């Protein structure tokens, strides 16, 4: 079977590998000229790392990752711990795979290195997708028309393929934006920071964790913002490369715990990006074409499941197309969507709900949230986010 995968992000790369593992011929089409080191930290819960093991990539990724023992939730103003959840060996014992934190570029490189160069078409922009009863086609900006038995559109949160399939449907600004930075370990060695923590405050939260085996601290500071009142809507703009104005992050998080502010102050290069989502769909596939990853279910990152859900899509897609004749591809894609849509949609909603809870104002609401988090820890030592891992592991 021949497949075309559009988009060489995490989801597109994982889909290419999953399909190739099933013996299929895959052409990966990517509009950028080369793979570049972009982005910062990314978290891989055991639903994703189980798939990496199946692809024989877990050891490679784990060697460049950090292996957190615990997640600590803290109050914004003085760092008092609210609760903590286990993430170390206990996770691997329970779910059969570890919890890892990696640089996005390291994961991307590990995935891309397994794909033969001859199977990748870089600097190739797709401007249309169509199909007939026997094949699906992509049209490039150069006028080429490439055909295959199916097309997998993994073209991200701004997916054009989604609109070609289902009509006008734009990405939705979440009302939140974030600053991100990577700091060398020596820059924060004196701050007594937890290895992995989420600091919760009114209208804001901060997450930090290690990547590259503890060499770099990944720092993300999220704040609510109304696009309508932002001059030029800069805070709402989605970009991996838009730099914050000098000191902007310190003004936004004034009054926060000294350790958080010091880390934000020492960050040499701070980027700012708007966080966008997509409205849940009732289906992701039509005929021989399907969506995958952010193009299908882009979500806010507040449960650290965006990449993991794309990787799960890739695994289930590969399973659904195993031993499938070309004529049976539409039915196989329907099986893939049936297995994945409900879980991904549920994680989308859970991530949005988590952000709302993180940003509650001080007072009775925040106190009630803290009490729920503590109680949940007594019932489930891995925390509420592990519900998504368990659902996916059971689904697998």
Give the tens place of pLDDT for each residue, 119-169: 999 999 999 999 999 999 999 999 999 999 999 999 999 999 999 999 988
Catalytic: which of 99, 209, 273, 336? Answer: 209
Residue identified by tokens 């882009």 is 298
Least Cα distance to 393 among 89, 21, 87, 51 occurs for 51
Distance of alpha carbon 125 from alpha carbon 117, whole angstroms: 18
Above pLDDT 70, what percent of the chain? 94
Q: Which helix (H) or strand (E) covers residue 82, if one does? A: strand 81-86
Least Cα distance to 206 among 175, 268, 250 occurs for 250
pLDDT digits (tens, 9 = 90+) for 195-238: 999 999 999 999 999 999 999 999 999 999 875 334 344 444 55
Supply the pLDDT for residue 233.
Answer: 46
Mean pLDDT of the chain: 93
Active site (annotated) includes residue 273: no
Distance of alpha carbon 17 from alpha carbon 188, whole angstroms: 38
DSSP character at residue 68: -
- Residue 304 C-beta-side C-alpha neighbours within 13 Å: 26
Largest CA distance in the chain: 64
The yes-or-no verdict on residue 357 having pLDDT over 50 is yes
Read off φ and ψ for residue 199, nearest 5 degrees: -105, 125
Least Cα distance to 3 among 151, 129, 155, 128 occurs for 151
Q: Which domains does the chain have, with CATH numbers?
A: 2-170+278-389 (3.50.50.60)
The residues, ordered by sequence, that sit 6+ positions from 28 with a Cβ below 8 Å of its Cβ are 4, 5, 8, 12, 13, 16, 115, 119, 120, 121
The residues, ordered by sequence, that sit 6+ positions from 251 with a Cβ below 8 Å of its Cβ are none
The secondary structure of 273-340 as a DSSP string is EEEEE-PPPS-SEETTEEE-THHHH---STTS-HHHHHHHHHHHHHHHTTT--GGGHHHHHHHHHHHH
């Amino acid at each position: 079977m021949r497949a075309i995968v559009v988009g060489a992000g995490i989801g597109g790369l994982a889909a290419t590998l999953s399909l190739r593992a099933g013996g299929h011929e895959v052409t990966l089409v990517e509009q950028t000229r080369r793979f570049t080191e972009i982005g910062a930290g990314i978290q891989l819960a055991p639903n994703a790392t189980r798939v990496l093991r199946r692809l024989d990539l877990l050891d490679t990724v784990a060697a460049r990752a950090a292996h957190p023992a615990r997640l600590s939730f803290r109050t914004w103003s003085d760092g008092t711990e609210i609760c903590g959840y286990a993430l170390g060996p206990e996770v691997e014992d329970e779910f059969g795979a570890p919890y890892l934190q990696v640089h996005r570029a390291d994961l991307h490189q590990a995935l891309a290195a397994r794909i033969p160069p001859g199977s990748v078409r870089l600097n190739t922009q797709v401007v249309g997708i169509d199909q007939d009863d026997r094949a699906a086609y992509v049209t490039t900006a150069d006028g080429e028309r490439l055909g295959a038995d199916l097309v997998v559109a993994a073209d991200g949160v701004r997916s054009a393929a989604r609109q070609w399939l289902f009509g006008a449907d734009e990405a939705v600004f979440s009302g939140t934006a974030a600053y991100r930075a990577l700091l060398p370990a020596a820059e924060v060695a004196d701050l007594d920071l937890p290895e992995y923590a989420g600091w919760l405050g009114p209208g804001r939260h901060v997450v930090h964790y290690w990547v590259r085996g503890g060499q770099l601290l990944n720092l993300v500071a999220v704040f609510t913002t109304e696009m309508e009142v932002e001059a030029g809507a800069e805070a709402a703009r989605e970009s991996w490369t838009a730099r914050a104005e000098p000191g902007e992050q310190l003004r936004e998080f004034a009054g926060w715990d000294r350790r958080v502010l010091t880390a934000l102050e020492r960050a040499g290069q701070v980027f700012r990006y708007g966080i966008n989502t997509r409205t849940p769909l009732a289906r992701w596939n039509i005929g021989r074409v399907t969506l995958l990853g952010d193009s299908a279910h882009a979500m806010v990152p507040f449960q650290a499941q965006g990449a993991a859900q794309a990787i799960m899509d890739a695994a289930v897609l590969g399973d659904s197309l195993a031993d499938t004749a070309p004529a049976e591809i539409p039915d196989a894609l329907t099986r893939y969507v049936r297995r994945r849509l409900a879980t991904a949609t549920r994680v989308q909603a859970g991530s949005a709900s988590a952000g709302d809870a993180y940003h509650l104002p001080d007072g009775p609401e925040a106190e009630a949230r803290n009490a729920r988090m503590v109680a949940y820890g007594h019932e489930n030592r891995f925390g509420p986010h592990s519900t998504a891992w368990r659902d996916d592991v059971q689904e697998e």
